[in-house]
Amino acid sequence: MENFSLNSNLYFGAGAIDALAAFNGKRVAIVADPIIGKNGIGDSAAGLMGCGKNAIFDRIEPDPSLEQVADCCRFVEELRAEIIVAIGGGSAIDTAKAVVLVLCGKGKKLYFAAVPTTAGTGSEVTDCTVVSDHAAGRKVLISDPRMVPDMAVLDYTLTKTVPKAVTAFTGMDVITHALEAYVANKANSITDAYAEKSLRLAFGNLYEAYLHGDSDTARENMMMASYLAGLAFTKAGLGICHSIAHAIGAAFNIPHGEANAILLPHVVAFNSGLDVPFGADKSPSAAKYAEAARIVGIPVGGTRLTVQYLVRALEDLNNKMSIPRTLMQLGVSAADMKERRAGIIDAALKDSCTAANPVQPDAGQIGKILDRVMG
Ligand SMILES: NC(=O)c1ccc[n+]([C@@H]2O[C@H](COP(=O)([O-])OP(=O)(O)OC[C@H]3O[C@@H](n4cnc5c(N)ncnc54)[C@H](O)[C@@H]3O)[C@@H](O)[C@H]2O)c1
Ligand SMILES: [Fe+2]
């Protein structure tokens, strides 16, 4: 028996941030990206909720650490907040999620609202958080339904200031979520519907959002694509693109979306058996990838050829947005990789996203993908 429930209240469209006014008069803690603290969005959100600057925690670093979560927990407890409002990219929302979980463990249930300012992680609707354990040199994905935000506010106007490179990385994170969810072990017709619409919107709008960051249409469609991909993967699961991205992100300090973007063409090729003679013709995921290619308007032929076109389309999109093809181009040397290789493979195999991948890889296969992304 399967169950599909959505307990999240959604507000969307230009000006949707005004929905925060409902919290006026309540004890609110705002967990915000430092940019949001500086560019006036934090202040106007605080104004809407009738709270002052002292209610804003903006000591957020990209890829939140255990220490940052502990620091933020203290802040929220000292404020005796009953509502936590996260405003920022995945790093701010994930920090707030981890805080919500820790406080739940102490018997304190906070109402939780998430306001994304990047179109990428879909964290505003997922049940997971990614926290970096710097001492152990790894990123850990924790899933728990208690972390799904009670309320999500998708106000695409907040994403108009996102710099070009971040637009590219976060947008490729969206495409990775949708494609991984589409072929994941737990995919079903409901998650496929979300993934398909997300892919259509992301392939149709990401490059435009990258070129023209102030385009209402492109930003709005990317924000929806991000949300829909989040819905798809929180129910269907992800795959080894994320497992390896978590491991190389922690090892070499590579932004999450950029790591996914570099890995994704290689993971699609691996999952669909492109390396193996006639592999693609027998692979159910290859048929699914070919369907995804058709949906986003890539020319179609036989299954194998269509998946090859999809791989090329992903490489072209990366290239157009100046995302490098290899880790070498990011300054990772052969010696760095040699030193970290075994640890990365081990972390990727143990990552909770691996179980959802349509093909269960062995260490040698992960190693081969690493060799390819090294260049
Ligand atoms: N919980 C999930 O479901 C999930 C899914 C995927 C990734 N993640 C995690 O999310 C994190 C990445 O999140 P992200 O990709 O959104 O990046 P991010 O939150 O780290 O932000 C990236 C950069 O963009 C800046 N920024 C954010 N909003 C901006 C705005 N409106 N204008 C200008 N600059 C802005 C930030 O200051 C930062 O420098 C990683 O830790 C990743 O592992 C979580
Ligand atoms: Fe992601």
- Spatial CA neighbour of 249 closest among 371, 133, 335: 133
pLDDT at 278: 78
Ligand 1 within 6 A of CB of 260: no
Ligand 1 within 6 A of CB of 226: no
Ligand 1 within 6 A of CB of 117: yes
- Spatial CA neighbour of 265 closest among 364, 172, 167: 172
d(CA 339, CA 341): 6
Average pLDDT of 64-77?
Answer: 96
pLDDT at 135: 87
pLDDT at 131: 94
Judge whether residue 97 has pLDDT over 90.
Answer: yes
Q: Give 246-269 pLDDT, tens digit per residue.
A: 999 999 999 999 999 999 999 999
Judge whether residue 65 has pLDDT over 90.
Answer: yes
Judge whether residue 38 has pLDDT over 90.
Answer: no
Judge whether residue 5 has pLDDT over 90.
Answer: no
Average pLDDT of 283-309?
Answer: 95
Q: Which of 132-146, 214-228, 271-285 has the lowest mean pLDDT?
A: 271-285
pLDDT at 58: 93
Judge whether residue 279 has pLDDT over 90.
Answer: no
Q: Binning pLDDT at 50, 70 and 90, where does residue 276 land?
A: confident
Domain boundaries, the chain: 9-161, 164-374
Q: Nearest bound ligand to CA 242?
A: 2
**In angstroms, how far is CA 321 from the centroid of its own chain?**
18
pLDDT at 34: 94
**For the chain, percent of residues with pLDDT exceeding 70:** 100
Ligand 1 within 6 A of CB of 95: no
Q: Nearest bound ligand to CA 176?
A: 2
Ligand 1 within 6 A of CB of 162: yes
Ligand 1 within 6 A of CB of 256: yes
First to last CA, the chain: 45
Q: Give 221-247 pLDDT, tens digit per residue.
A: 999 999 999 999 999 999 999 999 999
pLDDT at 127: 95
**In angstroms, how far is CA 224 from the centroid of its own chain?**
13
Pocket probe mutation, ligand 1, options 157, 166, 253, max atoms within 8 Å of Cβ: 166
Fold of the 164-374 domain: Dehydroquinate synthase-like, alpha domain (1.20.1090)
pLDDT at 186: 95
Q: Give 177-188 pLDDT, tens digit per residue.
A: 999 999 999 999
53 CA from centroid of ligand 2 (Å): 31
Pocket probe mutation, ligand 1, options 8, 58, 123, 244, max atoms within 8 Å of Cβ: 123
pLDDT at 375: 86
Q: What is the CATH number of domain 9-161?
A: 3.40.50.1970
Pocket probe mutation, ligand 1, options 60, 95, 118, max atoms within 8 Å of Cβ: 118
pLDDT at 139: 87
**Which residue's alpha carbon is nearest to atom 40 within ligand 1?**
63
Mean pLDDT of the chain: 96
Residues ≥6 apart with Cβ < 8 Å to 330: 252, 254, 258, 324
Ligand 1 within 6 A of CB of 149: no
Q: Binning pLDDT at 50, 70 and 90, where does residue 288 land?
A: very high
Number of other residues whose CB lies within 10 A of the CB of residue 301: 11
Judge whether residue 151 has pLDDT over 90.
Answer: yes
**For the chain, percent of residues with pLDDT exceeding 90:** 89
pLDDT at 201: 98
**Which residue's alpha carbon is nearest to atom 3 within ligand 1?**
123
DSSP-derived pairing of the beta strands 128-133 and 138-143: antiparallel
Judge whether residue 37 has pLDDT over 90.
Answer: no
**Which residue's alpha carbon is nearest to atom 23 within ligand 1?**
166
Average pLDDT of 261-284?
Answer: 90
Atom of ligand 1 nearest to the CA of 139: 43
